Amino acid sequence: MTQVAVVMGSKSDWPIMKQTVELLTQLGITYEKHVISAHRMPDQLQNFGKQAQDKGLQVIIAGAGGAAHLPGMLAANTVIPVIGVPIQTRALNGLDSLLSIVQMPSGIPVATVAIGEAGAKNAAILAAQIVGLSSENVTSLLQKFRQQQTQASIESEADLV
């Protein structure tokens, strides 16, 4: 069964959301990816959210930019955790996306990560931490990822020339 769904509001979000799926792969997580626009595909959005739990999905990662309703509306249609990735925009640099995603009214949470690339990567790691609660393989790959990251930081000191 697929563990995580990566959903984006537009094909134009893919260069950022691609970084999410690359990290999910590294962390041993099975995923599916979809373009579902909150504004252009409202019926598809609702159907996807309502079917997510029955499909066995454990987490949805949703990336969107501008008036970014996708993560919040997915969260409104399911009880599985939704992680929102604010996509950087040309007009407002992604501050619009961030505020649209993070300022959910009480009752329907969206776990919101940083704007752009850092957020896309952290969304994958956070999803792995959730999936890892019931998967030893994912937890062990997460620990390996952390160790490699620590080692790279330690070794980076040698570059200070």
| Contact residue for ligand RP5 among 24, 61, 87, 110 (CB under 6 A) | 87
> According to the binding rule CB under 6 A, does residue 119 interact with ligand RP5?
no
Q: Which stretch binds ligand RP5 (CB under 6 A): 3-11, 44-52, 115-123, 151-159?
A: 3-11
Q: Any binding-site annotation on 54?
A: no
Q: Which stretch binds ligand RP5 (CB under 6 A): 23-31, 60-68, 106-114, 139-147?
A: 60-68
Helix ranges restricted to H, the chain: 14-26, 42-51, 70-76, 95-102, 117-131, 136-156
| Contact residue for ligand RP5 among 6, 7, 9, 77 (CB under 6 A) | 9
From residue 17, alpha-carbon distances to 55, 85, 107 in Å are 22, 8, 27
Residue 127 DSSP SS3: helix
How far is it, in rounded angstroms, from Cα 161 to Cα 112? 37
> According to the binding rule CB under 6 A, does residue 37 interact with ligand RP5?
yes
Q: Which is nearer to ligand RP5, 13 or 74 (CB)?
A: 13
> According to the binding rule CB under 6 A, does residue 72 interact with ligand RP5?
no
Q: Any binding-site annotation on 134?
A: no
How far is it, in rounded angstroms, from Cα 35 to Cα 9? 6
CB 23 within 8 A of CB 124: yes
| Contact residue for ligand RP5 among 28, 65, 71, 86 (CB under 6 A) | 65
Q: Where do we find the tokens 């959903």? A: 7
Binding site for ligand RP5 (CB under 6 A): 8-10, 12-13, 37, 64-66, 87
